[in-house]
Amino acid sequence: MKTVKTLVAAAALAISATAAHAADTIKIGEINHYKRLAAFAEPYKKGIELGLKEVNASGGVLGKPLEFIFRDDQGKPGEAIKIAEELMTRDGAVMLTGTILSNVGLAISSFAAEKGYVYLAAEPLADALVWSAGNPYTFRLRTSTFVQAAMLAEAAAKTDALKYATIAPNYAYGKDAVEAFKVNLKKLKPEVEFVTEQWPALFKIDAGAEVQAIEAAKPDAIYNVTFGPDLAKFVREGTTRGLFDDRNVYGLLTGEPEYLEPLGEEAPEGWVVTGYPWYDIPAGPGLDFVKAYEAETGETPKIGSLVGYMTVQSIAALITKAGSTETSALLGAFPGLKVETPLGEISYRDVDHQSTMGAFIGTTALKDGAGVMVDWTYKDPEAYMPSDEEIKSMRPAE
Amino acid sequence: MGLFVAQLLTGLANAAALFLVASGLSLIFGVTRIVNFAHGSLYMLGAYVGLTLMNTLPGAFGFWGSIVLAGLVVGLIGILIEICVLRPIYRAPELFQLVATFGVILVIQDLALMIWGAEDRLGPRAPGLKSVVRILGEPVPQYDLALIAITPFILFALWWFITRTRIGILVRAATQDREMVGALGVNQSWLFTGVFFLGAALAGLGGAIQLPKGGADLLMDLNIISAVFVVVVIGGMGSIPGAFIASVLISVLNVFGVAYIPQSTLVLIYVVMAVVLTVRPYGLLGREEKAGEHGQVGEVERPIRPVGTRGRAFVFVLLVVLACVPFVGSSFLQVLITDILIFCLFAASLQFILSSGGLVSFGHAVFFGGGAYAAALLVTYADTPMELALLCAPLGAGLLALGIGWFCIRLSGVYFAMLTLAFSQLVWSLVYQWGAVTGGDDGLVNIWPSAWLSGTTAYYYFTLAVGVGGILVLRHIIHSPFGYTLRATRDSARQAEATGIDVKRVQWLAFALAGTMAGLAGGLFVFSKGSIFPNELEIGKSFDALIVVFLGGVKTLSGGVVGAVFMESIKDWLTRLEYWRLILGLVIIGVVIIAPDGIVGSLRKLGERIGLLKEQESMR
Amino acid sequence: MTAVLKVEGLSKSFGGVKAVNGVDFEVAPGELKALIGPNGAGKSTCFNMLMGQLMPSAGKVYLKGEQITGLPPRVIWRKGVGRTFQITGTYQSMTVAENVQMALMSHHRKLFSLLPYAYRLFREEALALLDVVGMADQADRSCAILAYGDLKRLELAIALSNDPMLLLMDEPTAGMAPKERINLMQLTSDIVRDRGISVLFTEHDMDVVFAHAHHIMVLNRGELIADGTASEVRANARVQEVYLGGGTLYAAEGSHA
């Protein structure tokens, strides 16, 4: 009955033997939900591939080619951890990166701390990664949810709106995003009132019902955190039923091409959103990236493409600075690491390991039958961060 | 008042797609007794096909024509699935087809990705129905009103078809008594194919008709399937009016849930489901299932004996080999085998209740996850040492199983399965939505073992000892008087009752024991991963276990373990490939068709044929 | 001497239809008693109430003076009543010996024991019982492949495993060849004699009934119309009317083949 087990063991041994003799490259373990969230993971992967091509064309790092090993975690944290171990111990990866879903990011982060592996959380949105569940081995590239929500709150505070409704997917990222918006808005304008909070289950929104519930609360303004198919349904029902008429709407990430493009000509107009206006980037490293990406892939870039590209840049800079691929060297080099990116120079903060990647904030409009961001500005995150003391008190003692 | 009416109308409009998919599933189940888990995939295909057609065909005619055509196309796909996948295995053990339909889900997921790409598609809006009508001052989208009008029409059409046409009468007769229809000389396989066409077409129609309210994306298949199961079970398996009532009930409840308890919409639905099933076990309009109606199909399980000296020696050698792994293999190999061992224990616990007890649980993951969460919560909130927390994992899961079992054990067959599903979904939704305690989707992290077990190798040996120990204990129990008593209740409940056996009590305790062992596996799991998330107790995890038990062989003792090893190993290898779900789906379907007795059952037969094993005295 | 089984005013209605109506009778120790009647007379209903499968609408059942009305089958079994069914309900996935061992494990209250190997428990005792019914040579065959007559004998062995004072046998010879029937009933009456067990059985085959039963009861339309020795029952005018009026005494046989 257990013959199979023996065979597996033998096969696994054979595989590990061949892996050890593979070409001499510096390998990075990349874990993502390539199947279950293909719409978000594919552009990210293409961004990485572009980044790798450029790095390796200019001689790689430490004289060796940089290589990413892409693995699919099926959206399951338990699976992701198994793969992480495999990448590090069998495939010879020097560090880990990846994941979009916050929960997988948190699982890998905890695992990395337990085993002593360096983990660059490229895309996960939960701020717990760097704050309440932060650890010395985990770093994060993507702009924090708190900061993006604070930027929207700043814009909201300038209006007359007093009664707010929120709608966010019912899981940690949604809750963080709503909480951050509330805290920042209350700080700027204590008299605001939150008249209803809607929590549709992720990717299971009942848009008609949500729109009715928000309408019934008669808010002056709406704060939206839904994304993907949920957002599309919410926008359509809301537009049909006139929910957005004469109301200010603030959309976290709504301006990211991943979410705005599928809406096509139905993209909402006049929402204040964070996103990525790739079509409007002025000449400089930002535009160079857009052009290179379009030339390489034949597609327009998404925010994921940019994050993937910047992940490669960060890791290349990290290894170059460390001068070695040893974990201790990488850990030593990461805090304070400066990286030149399409968004200008970013650095990884010493206090919480969060990068200083900022965010584009602007207003949505329709142009040639598609949603775009106009009147946008790129904002640096530092001004919106909690103070170092607050962050220190949030992070677990080390 | 206006708002109330508007909410009611929203609920009714939402019920349309749900009803179409649910009635198709119900119809297929009623006639073929197949629980078609791939029904959500057919719905997804309906959406994609409808979208593609709408982009080609112009105007209002094109829009409505596309919806009908999408239904037809998906119906044809349904025929293809029925003929290629299901027809060869109608005679396989009860619910075996379930595994095949799970393979179909995987195949369709990857095919859809290949054909339509990863991007979410927003559906076009219905021509001429883009604005709203004001009813009592509240805006109601015109398309909602169209849906509300169409649904009863379809219900009526189905009713007419089933009660007024010859084929319909045959379908109905087959729902009542399959054997009788066969005896009347009706070609059963074509009847089944026809019903599958109709059911699939309804799902396709449902997918296409919801396009103006949503769109097409690759997550739709699994997103709708749990809602559809809720509807079918509440309405009564096989009852189309029941499916209608339940879809309206669930949709309307959901709308009001969104308005008044926005944080707990999922919990609400599953509480309703659990309550309905507890009060009316066969659903609102379902009919009572006669005992033995879905009795074991195929040959009877054989008498069992503990393995002989050769078998023991073999297992011993294997254990020695496994014990040597840390000296020769990589650290990852240990992690992989740790994972496999934990899954084996989980599968063995399901096999215990499923094979020896004849109780097919669709929600076994709730005990795996329940055990894991019990341990994780203790560590997180009470700083419980790992050793104690690990002990509490099986205890917690066992208590949970006692509780859930108390409700479920009163039913049998598919209804038992559905009630276990309902309760496991209830627990899952609680864990998922009670973020303040369970961490919700972000789970509980930093649950690591004590220092003496923190190394990979140490934990490997620990899992080897506990996991293999657990499996051996379960195996021994099967050979013990309690295991025999359990098999007796499965073979003939009447005889068991007439010879002093309290059947329900025995089943209840066995259910709790299986839950306890699953909880032990969950405890091992959480400390090996350092974290736990709600996905470890969702439907998918329960199905993983069901699949490996069926693949391994239901009517064997080691099926679960062998199936688990087979599945985990092949997955570990396949997930490296681009379209691994397609291949895995095909592998599952292949195994199901080629080896309907499961891997162990088929190997045993092969062994007997070539003379390696002693042949059993042939039947009759 | 107290009657082993005493039934008083036993009645059962199904939605207004009186299937069994005010039946009174006794079974004495060591007695082999038959309950006969045309199809639909209420024999099975009566039996199911005695054994606890059905709750009587009215009336009482006493076992050795103790009231057992409405107790579940498993409790009645523990009090010393064995039962065989018209359609056998043996455990198909076990061997012949294991089927008997299963009942013995129940009798000796070992059902929830987790430690011993079940196939070793009470094996000698099981083989002895199988020997009584002449099945010892088939002890290790799978139950699923037994001939029907063998299954019936196996059921008898199982029914004896709790050392019962009373055996209830519902159509013990149904579906058997005539020669086998005689053998089985001979076996049964030997057991009654050797062990001092009382037996109450229903039967269609009048040869069997009149050859072996000490006393015969006749049930018609839910009412007991005769209770006496073979010759008394044969001579009973109402019995003749029931059987000869609605068909012959022997015509009833054909209906259950």
For A237-250, write each residue's pLDDT tens digit. Answer: 999 889 999 999 99
Q: How far apart are CA B479 and CA C17, in angstroms?
A: 47
What is the model's pLDDT at position B280? 86
Examine residue A396 and state whether it is found in any structural domain, yes or no.
Answer: no
Contacts of C185 (CB under 8 A, 6+ apart): C172, C173, C208, C211, C212
**Contact criterion met (CB < 8 Å) for B484 and C118:** yes
User: By residue range, what is the domain housing residue A352?
Assistant: 3-144+284-358
CB atoms within 10 A of CB C48: 20
Buried-exposed string A320-341: b where 16+ CB fall within 10 A, e elsewhere: ebbeebebebbbebbeebebeb
Identity of the residue numbered A243: L
Q: How far is CA C13 from the centre of its chain?
A: 22
Write the burial class of residue C137 (CB in 10 Å: 0-12 exposed, 13-18 middle, 19+ buried). Answer: exposed
End of a domain among B279, B294, B316?
B279
Q: Is the Cβ–Cβ distance between C90 and C154 less than 8 Å?
A: yes
Tally the domains of chain B. 2
| Whether residue B252 is found in the same domain as residue B340 | no
Q: Which residue does chain A place closest to B535, by CA atoms? A: A76
Chains C, A in contact, 3 or more Cβ pairs below 8 Å: no
Q: How far apart are CA A170 and CA B432, in angstroms?
A: 9
Contacts of C92 in chain B (CB under 8 A): 300-301, 491-492
What is the model's pLDDT at position B292? 43
- Per-residue pLDDT band at B32 (split at 50, 70, 90): confident
Q: Nearest by CB to B562, from A4, A208, A216: name it.
A: A4
Å between B43 CA and nearest CA of chain A: 15
User: By residue range, what is the domain housing residue C76?
Assistant: 5-256
- Per-residue pLDDT band at B171 (split at 50, 70, 90): confident
Contacts of A228 in chain B (CB under 8 A): 120, 217
For A259-289, write each residue's pLDDT tens digit. Answer: 898 888 889 999 999 999 999 999 999 999 9
Classified as helix, coil or strand, B533 is coil
Q: Hey, of B484, B497, B505, which one would you mutate to test binding to chain C, going by the most C CBs within 10 A of its CB?
A: B484
For A373-384, write each residue's pLDDT tens digit. Answer: 999 999 999 999
What is the model's pLDDT at position B620? 35
* Strand B531-532 with B444-445, pairing: antiparallel
For B69-94, write each residue's pLDDT tens digit. Answer: 999 999 999 999 999 998 888 777 66
Å between B400 CA and nearest CA of chain A: 23
Å between C139 CA and nearest CA of chain B: 12
User: By residue range, what is the domain housing residue B125?
Assistant: 2-279
Q: Nearest by CB to A128, from B7, B442, B580: name it.
A: B442
| Whether residue B403 is found in the same domain as residue B517 | yes
What is the domain-level CATH number for residue B175? 1.10.3470
| Whether residue A227 is found in the same domain as residue A372 | yes
Contacts of A198 in chain B (CB under 8 A): 258, 262
| Whether residue A156 is found in the same domain as residue A262 | yes
Q: Strands across the sheet with C32-36, in order?
A: C81-84, C166-170, C198-202, C32-36, C215-220, C223-228
Q: Inform me whether the pLDDT recorded for A181 exceeds 60.
A: yes
For B389-420, write each residue's pLDDT tens digit. Answer: 999 999 999 999 999 999 899 888 778 888 89
Both tokens assigned to B564: 């688990």
The pLDDT of C124-145, averaged and rounded, is 92
Examine residue B617 and state whether it is found in any structural domain, yes or no.
Answer: no
| Whether residue B264 is found in the same domain as residue B376 | no
Examine residue A295 and state whether it is found in any structural domain, yes or no.
Answer: yes
What is the model's pLDDT at position B94? 61
Q: How far apart are CA B382 and CA B20, in angstroms?
A: 48
End of a domain among B255, B279, B303?
B279
Q: Hey, of A30, A137, A194, A212, which one would you mutate to test binding to chain B, going by the most B CBs within 10 A of its CB?
A: A212
B480 close to C (CB below 8 A): yes
| Whether residue A191 is found in the same domain as residue A218 | yes
Q: Nearest by CB to B530, from A74, A110, A203: name it.
A: A110
Both tokens assigned to C127: 């083989």
Examine residue B545 and state whether it is found in any structural domain, yes or no.
Answer: no
Provide φ and ψ at A98, rounded to 5°.
Answer: 115, -160
Å between B364 CA and nearest CA of chain C: 23
- Per-residue pLDDT band at B301 (split at 50, 70, 90): confident
Tally the domains of chain A. 2
| Whether residue A80 is found in the same domain as residue A176 | no
**Contact criterion met (CB < 8 Å) for C111 and B302:** no
Both tokens assigned to A85: 């171990």
**Contact criterion met (CB < 8 Å) for A9 and B254:** no
CB pairs under 8 A between A and B: 247
Contacts of B492 (CB under 8 A, 6+ apart): C89, C90, C91, C92
What is the model's pLDDT at position C244? 67
A209 close to B (CB below 8 A): yes
Tally the domains of chain C. 1
Å between A117 CA and nearest CA of chain B: 14
What is the model's pLDDT at position B614? 63
**Contact criterion met (CB < 8 Å) for C142 and B302:** yes
Å between A33 CA and nearest CA of chain B: 12
| Whether residue B267 is found in the same domain as residue B360 | no
Q: Which residue does chain B place closest to A16, by CA atoms? A: B330
Q: Inform me whether the pLDDT recorded for A180 exceeds 80.
A: yes
Q: Which residue does chain B place closest to A231, by CA atoms? A: B214
| Whether residue B223 is found in the same domain as residue B343 | no
| Whether residue A76 is found in the same domain as residue A166 | no
Provide φ and ψ at B394, rounded to 5°.
Answer: -65, -35
Mean pLDDT of chain B: 87
Q: Is the Cβ–Cβ distance between B85 and B100 less than 8 Å?
A: yes
**Contact criterion met (CB < 8 Å) for B481 and C91:** no
In 3D, which of B417, B371, B410 has the Cα closest to residue B279? B410
| Whether residue B342 is found in the same domain as residue B270 | no
Q: How far apart are CA A45 and CA A47, in angstroms?
A: 5
| Whether residue A65 is found in the same domain as residue A109 | yes
Contacts of C93 in chain B (CB under 8 A): 300-304, 487, 490-491
Identity of the residue numbered B195: V
Examine residue B199 and state whether it is found in any structural domain, yes or no.
Answer: yes
Question: Half-sphere exposure of C77 toward its Cβ, with a 13 Å CA cutoff?
Answer: 28
Examine residue B70 and state whether it is found in any structural domain, yes or no.
Answer: yes
| Whether residue B255 is found in the same domain as residue B400 | no
Å between C54 CA and nearest CA of chain B: 13
Q: Nearest by CB to B259, from A111, A212, A262: name it.
A: A212
Å between C244 CA and nearest CA of chain B: 36
What is the model's pLDDT at position A222? 97
Question: Which chains would you list as touching C if contact means 3+ CB atom pairs under 8 Å?
Answer: B
Q: Which residue does chain B place closest to C112, by CA atoms? A: B482
- Give ∠ CA B254-B259-B263 in degrees, rounded to 5: 80
Examine residue B518 and state whether it is found in any structural domain, yes or no.
Answer: yes
Contacts of B482 in chain C (CB under 8 A): 111-114
Query: Which residue do the tokens 């049909």 mark?
Result: A240
- Per-residue pLDDT band at A292 (split at 50, 70, 90): very high
Residues in chain B: 620
Per-window interface: A 212-231 vs B, CB < 8 A: 212-213, 216, 228-229
| Whether residue A250 is found in the same domain as residue A177 | yes
| Whether residue B381 is found in the same domain as residue B481 | yes
Both tokens assigned to B289: 């299932």
Q: Nearest by CB to A210, from B213, B258, B321: name it.
A: B258
Q: Which of B15-29, B162-176, B244-258, C59-73 comes out lowest in average pLDDT? A: B162-176
Measured between alpha carbons, how far apart are the two ends of chain C, in Å? 40
Q: How far is CA B218 from the centre of its chain?
A: 19
The pLDDT of B468-484, averaged and rounded, is 95
Contacts of B491 in chain C (CB under 8 A): 90-94
Q: Nearest by CB to C114, from B482, B490, B497: name it.
A: B482
The pLDDT of C133-141, averaged and rounded, is 92
Q: Hey, of C76, C79, C92, C141, which one would you mutate to test binding to chain B, going by the most B CBs within 10 A of its CB?
A: C92
Mean pLDDT of chain A: 90
Q: Inform me whether the pLDDT recorded for C252 exceeds 70.
A: no
**Contact criterion met (CB < 8 Å) for A72 and B580:** yes
End of a domain among B509, B538, B567?
B538
Beta bridge partners of B134: B139
Q: How far apart are CA B82 and CA B373, in angstroms?
A: 40
Most confident among A217-221, B188-192, B532-536, B607-611 (mean pLDDT): A217-221
The answer to whether the Cα torsion of A112, A115, A116, A117 is positive or negative is: negative
What is the domain-level CATH number for residue C34? 3.40.50.300
| Whether residue A114 is found in the same domain as residue A160 | no
**Contact criterion met (CB < 8 Å) for C85 and B480:** no
CB atoms within 10 A of CB A316: 23
Contacts of A16 in chain B (CB under 8 A): 329-330, 332-333
**Contact criterion met (CB < 8 Å) for C116 and B491:** no
B505 close to C (CB below 8 A): no
| Whether residue B158 is found in the same domain as residue B270 | yes
CB pairs under 8 A between B and C: 118
| Whether residue B525 is found in the same domain as residue B397 | yes
**Contact criterion met (CB < 8 Å) for B14 and A228:** no
Å between C255 CA and nearest CA of chain B: 22
Which is higher by pLDDT, C109 or B163? C109
| Whether residue A231 is found in the same domain as residue A196 | yes
Q: How far is CA B487 from the centre of its chain?
A: 24
**Contact criterion met (CB < 8 Å) for B479 and C118:** yes
Q: How far apart are CA B476 and CA B306, in angstroms?
A: 8
Q: Hey, of A3, A5, A198, which one would you mutate to test binding to chain B, going by the most B CBs within 10 A of its CB?
A: A5
Both tokens assigned to B457: 């190798």
What is the domain-level CATH number for residue A190? 3.40.50.2300
Q: Inform me whether the pLDDT recorded for C257 exceeds 50.
A: no
